[in-house]
Structure 1
């Protein structure tokens, strides 16, 4: 009977493997250590398919290994049926628990390691599995099943027990022993398991049947004692009301008997069938705090860029970073080990020892809560220590350099000026040199550049985040001010700015109308004006500016604009802004600014070679025009559809969403990976946008992105994530992918990506955005292969789908 049940289960699994999605089964062939003649199939489903009322899975086990035999298939190892956190699904709401389950409720402490399944073969061989694999593997850095087997062998040897006897016992009883492998020398998690506490913590004995059947905890404890496993603590609560009261108290205090534990697994019976029913309760703290420390340390090691602001635990996390950064800088091996999952707990304990408190004491100390709140206010204080970075938003000929020099001449001790045209090396030096002036004692710095597109403004904030801690103290407020020279490009403004530049002749750093001709100068300026994107504080990244000053471009407007800046800043920020000087000093500073002659000359190319006079694109993309709206849809969907216990949902407010979002349409590298189809498509993109590729000057472009007038419409399809990256797949109409401003589509251009997507956030600092293509393709083909609490997918419901627009851009 049992053999027939397993054969029927295999048949249902094979049928499910042919599905495209929603219940699709994955078969992973596995070999067995020391038994190369035995082959097993590991069966799994996508994490998001469990617990869905509309999806009927052949088996709900997480971890299912079946011996590969046409005549006599046999379950060798079986994990628990997937179970959920309280409130995560309908069945685990308190109302359902009270109405549909019955006690006693066995409450088991949840150990913090990796799950290990142990089964037996007929000859007594023991099969040790991780959640979804067993046997030798070359595709992973750590083989959990091998480490588990080695620990088990040593455990039995220490008890003078034979491995084969355990294998025979498990085979005859048709059971799987389920343990949590906790050993910091192999892999660190959140809780500490030093040498004395490391081991295989047995927490279950499952029967190898299609339906979930597990032995009671007293038998599990007896088995653990017999075979040398560490046993887990458990106790029983008679009724659901008492259970709810107990867990509510644990939730309030954040601990169990003053122990830092991950949580509890609760085991009971269903009233309707008497079947086994599991659910879990997880503590949020101190694990979220510890996880934040771990991730911010990984980010620092990867980027050497310190993050200062955190939505939760801001004060204590900065204290932690103050402590660990000098240690990491003086111990490169410790930093390397940390990135490989070693020394994480050691570093945390060093900080807690130095701070003189445990994690629980920190969380429960009123003084720390007061400092956390004070820290939130401190970073917004405007005083004499506040730094002001003033960023023009303009086009060529608006007078931004004259205004900057006028202010610098008025207040040479406190005001500084960095001109992008003087920077001929790294693009990031534009902001780095501005921040350097703050370190040298300046309080106000004008970072002189056109910044005429959203992308350029987004770069500014990205670079500020990258370099700020090197030049500005943690307790110093930085205000970023937008100087809006242009709000719209009018004909009058065009005529005036062109006239100004032509009058200056070669006295301009990037346009030499005398040397290279007026026609070329006008063409360059018109290119800037055509690409101009006005300041919009309701859109990202312009919403990151702390304040904006509207200026004007008119005859004799530069001196007036300098005064306007001072007055507007004074009105908004008060006494930290200097008073407007008298007319004589203003005129003197202005005249000196007018006499300025550039030192660095950026010459326009004057050759006739077309190829040399063209930009070389790396890829074509569609940059989302309303990224804020898109991200809000993503956040709302996560809140509505992702389970409460998901790491993604727990850390929603901390996700480092990208400032600029894009869909890659066609990448040059695809010529190598795809072949002739990609080569032809690449040629069509180049031909379509050849006019945009003509270089306007010999110098490096101000931005590595050229924005066209064309657009792409799309809607969100699925949200996919793992511990490294968060992305959304999108639906495109490849028959009429790209549209002109006046409506018609561009013939024959399509998206070359098999799975078009938008990379939303890099979560771990260990992978680049390129990894999103790999993950999207993998999930499209077969789901996330090693899904865990840090990974998942869900489809955006049709009723929530919104059409978004992306501007077609050329990425250099």
Structure 2
């Protein structure tokens, strides 16, 4: 352990690191995912947070300039320095090759310090102004509530110990160090394990020197600091051999307790052989915590009237119990969606379970019906994704759904439904589509997670990083020529403009971005090179999947892999569809089709939980009425083109390219705010239809507004009141919903109802969803 200022060599290392980080942050869009820089104002200082793309920490060798997770820099005395540093990213047992027990036994030495892994959120504390000011931050940001709550707790602990924030800041400055805490406060944010009031606060877990290389203090010294400044002490245990440490951790796992309380696991500190360089890993206990997480997510879905599936036998009893509690004690669940009341609900069920003959051991012995894994490629044309999918299916029996096999009509919803159906008979399902749009990934991962709460999403990422567009284009055209007409849609015969389509795919390719809300459900990434052949990439996928799921997958022999690859490369598709060119028929109408919600199911669940007369009318219409088309928002109908405005709008949508990928390029965020029913028709009023400003969209079909965000536009509809027709009475046509909605909202589409005739139901609702552009034929 070293403390104090950096040496000249260490200062040089930091300058080099800073230069690399800044260059990566300025890189072009396809590279910007590697490092992100955010600057915050704090007590008169500009504090910069450096955040690296999470999945790259796992890559071997790691391509990141630093493995530090939580790195903050600032100008201090006219020189930029590290002001706060978290740990290097460390992994669970068997999560990467360096955390497999054989590697640890061979390459590390003791002492092995097992510190209790408290179940909270990470907080960093450091000094500014030469030790006069205390900086408190979350892992990557200063502007989150976690940092504010962390500061309050820090001040409370210091006050109880008779210390001041200035004294603690001076201590950190003197040692050029960052204090690493775990914030555990159920009154602020509940996690899985319970922290009663007597156990809440900041647990001092470590002290790191503010240097490029990780230099972390021994746990005994950390404990002394915690006691000196009044922080909660993190319990630790020391063993000289790895076998002793593992035996102790296994005993705690089997006992389900440590000193009478449940814990999440341990963080282990040791050293690399032949050096004093620290090495850290964690031993995490999955059960029953994955089941508890399932209960939490299922409860949220029940509260929000959303569908759910369960994977643990005991979850079925929990669901029956919690539905009764929500019905009879609704006030207990008011803040559940804000992560309040989660532990109380779980404890309530476990008490009920035990009082009805259940044993506590049953809770810990629960086994999931099987881990579900979605294999999500992010790729471009001709990279070999279908070849790999077919080979994996032959080798392991994975489910495989090809988007190219789907009919054009309502393609995305069909693709999603087929994937969910495949999970009924398979633990692994390969979603065979390029998924090169963020919106595609967002809707698919959300749909799967809604149905399977604990589904693990693994991305097979054909990265464009460091490869020129010209080289990728040449590769794609060469491989397409090589496969000839052996494809469902994209062949020289079916798509004479295939070169243009390849360029469009490249141009539209949106890199993986785990920090975005579109990609943040992805947990693991296998990075592949589109220039490598299928054999190289298949072997990498097999090796990585077998490492990720050692209890579920066994690596096949080289001969078996070769046989599967040969079978995949000789595959002949049975579906053939034309991709390019104009349709022989003029579309009957253009519409937007919801892609991430089942409207009818959503409505049925609303009707189940609402029993007033207004809802009774809607219920009768839903089950006795009819509507042959899938739920959609009509943009414009060919039959309306006698009207000059409709004709202009129709011509605008006709200008859009007519091929299967157009609906993947044009999606809209929609919001429904009223359900209207008059006994003859029932419809959802759509208040907003917002899409990204896209060069494909003619000016005649978009409307710009100062109230929209930059780069956003509204899609134009001919109907004065955009809507989704849900049901029609006998002899009633879908278009008659227009007349009903005009009566309620008027031709200017008022924000709130202008009229509600006797016997009609006009009910406020709230539903946001994404929808994709579709052409409909009669």
Normalising to structure 1: TM-score of the pair?
0.48
Which of 127, 149, 160 in structure 1 is aligned with 2:135?
Answer: 127
2:117 corresponds to: 110
Deviations 1:36-56 (A, max 9, x none): x21110001011011312443
Which of 298, 301, 304 in structure 2 is aligned with 1:299?
Answer: 301
Residues 1:4 and 1:256: Cα distance change in structure 2 (over 3 Å)? same
1:8 corresponds to: 16
Cα displacement (A) at 1:286: 1.7
1:165 corresponds to: 167
| Aligned-partner SS, 2:286 | coil
Measure, in 1, the Cα distance between the counterparts of 2:330 and 2:691.
29
Residues 1:72 and 1:619: Cα distance change in structure 2 (over 3 Å)? farther
1:668 corresponds to: none
Aligned pairs for 1:309-324 (under 5 A) are: 310-312=310-312, 314=313, 316-324=314-322
Normalising to structure 2: TM-score of the pair?
0.50
Residues 1:275 and 1:263: Cα distance change in structure 2 (over 3 Å)? same
Deviations 1:207-252 (A, max 9, x none): 0001000011111000000001000111111112222333344444
2:59 corresponds to: 52
1:187 corresponds to: 189
Aligned pairs for 1:378-397 (under 5 A) are: none
Aligned pairs for 1:406-555 (under 5 A) are: none
Q: How many correspondences in the alignment?
A: 452
Deviations 1:352-385 (A, max 9, x none): 223337999534479x87xx99x99xxxxxxxxx
Residues 1:143 and 1:631: Cα distance change in structure 2 (over 3 Å)? farther
Measure, in 1, the Cα distance between the counterparts of 2:126 and 2:776.
54
Is 1:24 the counterpart of 2:34 in the alignment? yes
Measure, in 2, the Cα distance between the counterparts of 1:235 and 1:16.
40
Aligned pairs for 1:546-585 (under 5 A) are: none
2:679 corresponds to: none
Measure, in 2, the Cα distance between the counterparts of 1:636 and 1:772.
30
Measure, in 2, the Cα distance between the counterparts of 1:358 and 1:102.
50
Q: CA RMSD in A?
A: 5.0
Measure, in 2, the Cα distance between the counterparts of 1:65 and 1:758.
38
Cα displacement (A) at 1:264: 0.4
Measure, in 1, the Cα distance between the counterparts of 2:667 and 2:252.
42
Contact 1:159-1:228 within 8 A present in 2 as well: yes
2:484 corresponds to: none
Which is worse superposed, 151-160 or 211-220? Answer: 151-160
Deviations 1:676-735 (A, max 9, x none): xxxxxxxxxxxxxxxxxxxxxxxxxxxxxxxxxx99999999777789975899999xxx
Measure, in 1, the Cα distance between the counterparts of 2:667 and 2:108.
43
| Aligned-partner SS, 1:273 | coil
Cα displacement (A) at 1:143: 1.0
Measure, in 2, the Cα distance between the counterparts of 1:133 and 1:757.
32
Cα displacement (A) at 1:539: 10
| Aligned-partner SS, 2:203 | strand
Measure, in 1, the Cα distance between the counterparts of 2:356 and 2:147.
33
Residues 1:53 and 1:811: Cα distance change in structure 2 (over 3 Å)? farther
Is 1:80 the counterpart of 2:78 in the alignment? no
Measure, in 2, the Cα distance between the counterparts of 1:808 and 1:43.
39
Cα displacement (A) at 1:12: 1.7
1:207 corresponds to: 209
| Aligned-partner SS, 1:356 | helix
Measure, in 1, the Cα distance between the counterparts of 2:267 and 2:87.
12
Contact 2:580-2:658 within 8 A present in 1 as well: no
Is 1:347 the counterpart of 2:345 in the alignment? yes
Cα displacement (A) at 1:322: 2.7
Contact 1:13-1:58 within 8 A present in 2 as well: yes
Measure, in 2, the Cα distance between the counterparts of 1:753 and 1:215.
56
Measure, in 1, the Cα distance between the counterparts of 2:339 and 2:416.
39
Is 1:100 the counterpart of 2:98 in the alignment? no
Cα displacement (A) at 1:627: 3.9
Deviations 1:275-298 (A, max 9, x none): 000000110112112111111111
Measure, in 1, the Cα distance between the counterparts of 2:224 and 2:104.
29
Contact 2:177-2:208 within 8 A present in 1 as well: yes
Measure, in 2, the Cα distance between the counterparts of 1:772 and 1:263.
45
Residues 1:319 and 1:12: Cα distance change in structure 2 (over 3 Å)? same
Measure, in 2, the Cα distance between the counterparts of 1:625 and 1:266.
41
Contact 2:667-2:773 within 8 A present in 1 as well: no
Measure, in 1, the Cα distance between the counterparts of 2:657 and 2:528.
20
| Aligned-partner SS, 2:64 | coil
Is 1:40 the counterpart of 2:47 in the alignment? yes
Measure, in 2, the Cα distance between the counterparts of 1:625 and 1:344.
30
Cα displacement (A) at 1:155: 1.6
Which is worse superposed, 739-748 or 78-87? Answer: 739-748
2:237 corresponds to: 235
Deviations 1:549-573 (A, max 9, x none): xxxxxxxxxxxxxxxxxxxxxxxxx
Deviations 1:602-650 (A, max 9, x none): xxxxxxxxxxxxxxx9999695499449978994679xxxxxxxx99x9
Contact 1:28-1:43 within 8 A present in 2 as well: yes
Which is worse superposed, 744-753 or 75-84? Answer: 744-753
| Aligned-partner SS, 1:85 | coil
Deviations 1:748-778 (A, max 9, x none): 457679989999xxxxxxxxxx99999xxxx
Aligned pairs for 1:393-792 (under 5 A) are: 624=415, 627-628=418-419, 635=428, 654-655=452-453, 726=521, 741=577, 744-746=580-582, 748-749=657-658
Measure, in 1, the Cα distance between the counterparts of 2:358 and 2:209.
39
2:152 corresponds to: 150
Deviations 1:174-223 (A, max 9, x none): 01011100000110001111211101000100000010000111110000
2:268 corresponds to: 266
Deviations 1:284-333 (A, max 9, x none): 1121121111111111001176x5x6322x2x223223332232223443
Contact 1:23-1:55 within 8 A present in 2 as well: no
Measure, in 2, the Cα distance between the counterparts of 1:274 and 1:191.
35
Contact 2:50-2:70 within 8 A present in 1 as well: yes
Contact 2:24-2:32 within 8 A present in 1 as well: no
2:323 corresponds to: 325
Cα displacement (A) at 1:65: 0.7
Max Rg structure:
1
Residues 1:233 and 1:69: Cα distance change in structure 2 (over 3 Å)? closer
Measure, in 2, the Cα distance between the counterparts of 1:742 and 1:808.
18
Residues 1:749 and 1:622: Cα distance change in structure 2 (over 3 Å)? farther
Measure, in 2, the Cα distance between the counterparts of 1:266 and 1:357.
39
Measure, in 1, the Cα distance between the counterparts of 2:104 and 2:117.
20
Which of 315, 334, 337 in structure 1 is aligned with 2:335?
Answer: 337
| Aligned-partner SS, 2:327 | helix
Contact 1:6-1:73 within 8 A present in 2 as well: no
Cα displacement (A) at 1:151: 1.2
Residues 1:130 and 1:811: Cα distance change in structure 2 (over 3 Å)? farther
